[in-house]
Amino acid sequence: MITDKIQSSASEALKKLYNIDAAPDSIVLQKTKKEFEGDFTIVVFPYVKQARKSPEMVANELGKEICDSLAEVASFNVIKGFLNFVVSDSYWTDFANTIAGNRTFGLKSCGPNDAPVVIEYSSPNTNKPLHLGHIRNNLLGWSVSQLLAANGKNVKKVNLVNDRGIHICKSMLAWLRYGNGETPESSGMKGDHLVGKYYVEFDKHYKAEVKELMDKGVEEEQAKREAPLMVEAQQMLKRWEDGDKEIRDLWQKMNGWVYAGFDETYRKMGVSFDKIYYESNTYLLGKELVQKGLDMKVLFRKDDGSVWCDLTDAGLDQKLLLRKDGTSVYMTQDLGTALLRHNDFGAEQLIYVVGNEQDYHFQVLKIILGRLGFDWADKVYHLSYGMVELPNGKMKSREGTVVDADDLIEEMEKTAEEMCRDRGKNDDMSAEELKQLYHILALGALKYFILKVDPTKTMLFNPAESIDFNGNTGPFIQYTHARIRSIVRKASENGIDINNVSTAIALNEKEREVIKMLHEMPLNVEQAAAAYSPAMIANYTFDLAKTFNSFYQDTPILREADKNRMLFLVKLCDSVSVAIKNMMSILGIEVPERM
C-alpha cells in the first residue's frame, strides 16, 4: 500500500536529513484536506525542534527526499507545516487493476491455531419475547463478531439464556393463576409472546396487591416485599432450586415455548450462535466458586446467611453473591459461566455485549474473578452500549410498553413493500422474489439504522426515517449495489468481459476519488475492529456509495467510445459492488442484485 511506502520513506528521510529516529508506523499519515491539493499529508511539526529548521523548510526538504525516492509520488506541496503528497495516476490504476476480481479484498482470515475471541450477545430472559432493545444487542453482537472475523480473528459467538430466576417464576406463577391452560397452539400466539403476556399479567395483579396493602397503612417497600404474589414467586424460586419436580416440569414446558419463539425471531434477524449456555446449567458452578471464595476468605457471610464480596477497597460497595435463602443472583451465574467459557475455549478474550446499565456489574465481575485467583480475569471485556429509545420514551417489559422484535420486523417489511410499489420498478419480479426483496430491504433498513450509530451512544429509533431510499440509510446503499450490478450485467451483454486485462488510463477527479475510497477499505476494517465499532463500517460504506453515485452521474460508462477505458471503468464498478457487499455483510445486511 502506498501509505506504508510513504511512511517508510519518511522514516528513512528523517534519519538521513536530520538524524531523527522515527519508526514508520509512528509517522502519522492523514488524508489531505479537501481544500488542498494532494492525497496524503504528513504534519512535520513533531520533527521541527530536532531538525532545528522552520516547519516550511523541514516540509520542503522532506517532501523532495520522499518524492525523489518514490515513483508512486507524482508531486508534493507545502502549506506551512503540512506536507501534502499527490499520488500518481499510474499507482491508482495499478491498484484498481490489482484488486479487480478479488472477492475478499480488505478482509483477513484467521490462522488455524489462533486462540478464539468469544463474544456473548443476545442473553434473553425466558419470561418475554425479544424486543427493540434486544435487536440492538443482537445486531451489535453479530456485527462485531463479523468485524473481528474480517480482521483475522477466530471468533466464537455464544448466547447465555437467562432461563431461571425470580422473573421466570413470575411468568410461571401468573400462568398457573390466570392462564386456564392456554398454550401457543390454543391461543395462536408465538410461545415467547404468550409467556411475556403472563409476565405483564403478574405485574398488573402484583401492583394491585401492593396498593391494597398500602391502603391498609403498610409502607410501600414493605408492601412490595409482602404482597402475596411476590412471596409465592420467591417460594417458587426456592422450590425450583431445590429440584421440585412439579415446578421443574412447568419450567421446562414454558421455556420450551419460549425457545421455539426465540429461534424464529433469530432466523428473521439473521443471527446465530456457535454455542448456547443456559443459566440453569451454570449457576451451580457459580455457587461452587462462591464457596471457594468463602474458603479463600475473599468473600464473607453475613449473620442472615447471605454471602457478599467487600469491594470498598476498590472504591465500590459490597456485592451480594448469594441471598439469605441460598438462592443465587446474576453475579453468581456469571462467575460460573465465565469459568466454563474459559475452559471451553481457552479464549484470547471474553467479550460481553451488554447495555451500559450493567457497567458496574462487569466491573465487579472482573474484580471478583481476579480475587478468586483467575489470571485470565483481565481478558473479560464489557462492550457497553447505549439504550434504544422511541419518540415516546423508554420501553418497559413488565408494563407491556415494549416494541416486540417480531412486530417491528413485520411492520418494516410492510413499509418496504409500500415504498417499492410506489417506485414501480419491480414489475418484472415474481411474487416470491418480491417477498424476499421486501425482507432484505426491511432488515437492511433496520440493521443499518441501528448500527450506523456509535455503540456507546443512546439512540432514538425512527422506523420511517430508517427505510428511506435517500440519505444515510441501508436501502440507499442496497440500491447503489443493485445499480452497479445492473451496469456490470449490461456490460457483459455488450461483450465486455471484466476478466480481461485493462491497461492504464488517465483518471479524472471523480474516478480517482472512487479508487481512493476503495484504497481506504482495509484500514477502515482494521480501525473499526480495534474500536469494536460497526458504525465506522456503516459510515464508510455510505461514503463509498455516495462517492460512486457522484462518479456515476458524471461518467457515461457504457457509452464510452474507448473500449479499454470502458473495460477499466466496468471493472472499477465491479470492485465497488464487491466492497459494498463485503462491508454490508459485516453489518449482517444482504444486498440485492437488482431492485
**DSSP character for 21?**
-
pLDDT band at 295 (very low <50, low <70, confident <90, very high): very high
**Among 75-89, 304-318, 398-412, 515-529, the least confident range:** 398-412
pLDDT at 157 over 50: yes
Q: What is the pLDDT of residues 322-337, one digit of tens each?
A: 999 888 888 998 999 9
CA distance 376 to 136: 28
Higher pLDDT, 143 or 415: 143
Mean per-residue pLDDT for 132-139? 92
What average pLDDT does range 546-574 have in this prediction? 93
The answer, yes or no, to whether residue 167 has pLDDT greater than 70, is yes
Residue-level pLDDT at 401: 54
Give the separation between CA 191 and CA 230, rounded to whole angstroms.
24
Pick the closest to residue 550 from 480, 492, 482, 491 (CA basis): 480
**pLDDT for the residue numbered 360:** 95
Whole-angstrom Cα distance, residue 338 to residue 30? Answer: 41
CA distance 75 to 292: 68
Tell whether the model's pLDDT for residue 391 goes beyond 80: no
Pairing of strands 40-43, 73-79: unpaired
Average pLDDT over residues 234-239: 93
- Choose among 527, 535, 510: nearest CA to 150: 527
- Over the stretch 424-457, which tens digit does the pLDDT of each residue have? 666 778 888 888 899 999 999 999 999 999 999 9
Cα angle value 532/538/539 (rounded, 5°): 105
Mean pLDDT of 7-17: 96
Helix, strand, or coil (residue 302): coil
Q: Is the pLDDT of residue 580 over 80?
A: yes
Say yes or no to pLDDT of 4 above 90: yes
Indicate whether 399 pLDDT > 80: no
Q: Quick one: pLDDT at residue 423?
A: 72
**Positive or negative, the Cα torsion across 519, 521, 522, 527?**
positive
Q: What pTM was computed for the model? A: 0.89
Share of the chain above pLDDT 90, in %: 79
pLDDT tens-digit readout, 189-232: 999 999 999 999 999 999 999 999 999 999 999 999 999 999 99
Taking residues 397-421, what's their average pLDDT? 77
Beta bridge pairs of residue 318: 310
**Using N-to-C axis directions, what is the helix angle for 166-178 and 228-241, rounded to 10°?**
110
* Per-residue pLDDT at 402: 67
297-307 confidence digits (pLDDT tens): 999 999 999 99
Torsion sign (Cα): 361, 364, 370, 371: negative
d(CA 576, CA 307): 58
- The enclosing H or E element of 430 equals none
- Examine the pLDDT at 152 and tell me if it is beyond 50: yes
Name all domains of the chain by residue range, CATH numbers in brackets.
Answer: 2-87 (3.30.1360.70), 121-399 (3.40.50.620), 405-586 (1.10.730.10)
pLDDT in tens, 464-497: 777 777 889 999 999 999 999 999 999 999 898 8
Q: Indicate the range of 54-58, 276-280, 499-503 predicted with least confidence.
A: 499-503
Q: Is pLDDT above 90 for 340? A: yes
Contact indicator for 536, 524 with CB cutoff of 8 Å: yes
Reported as a pLDDT band with limits 50, 70 and 90, residue 500 is: confident
How far is it, in rounded angstroms, from Cα 205 to Cα 230? 10
Average pLDDT over residues 121-138: 92
**Residues 555 and 471: beta-carbon distance below 8 Å:** no
DSSP letter for 151, please: B
Average pLDDT, the chain: 92
Looking at the predicted structure, is the pLDDT value of residue 43 above 80?
A: yes
308-314 contacts at long range (C-beta below 8 A, 24 or more positions apart) = 309/364, 309/367, 309/368, 309/371, 311/364, 311/367, 314/367
pLDDT band (50, 70, 90) for residue 34: confident
Higher pLDDT, 533 or 595: 533
Q: What is the pLDDT of residue 395?
A: 40
Nearest to 529 by CA among 102, 154, 114, 153: 153
Phi, psi of 384 (to 5 degrees): -85, 135
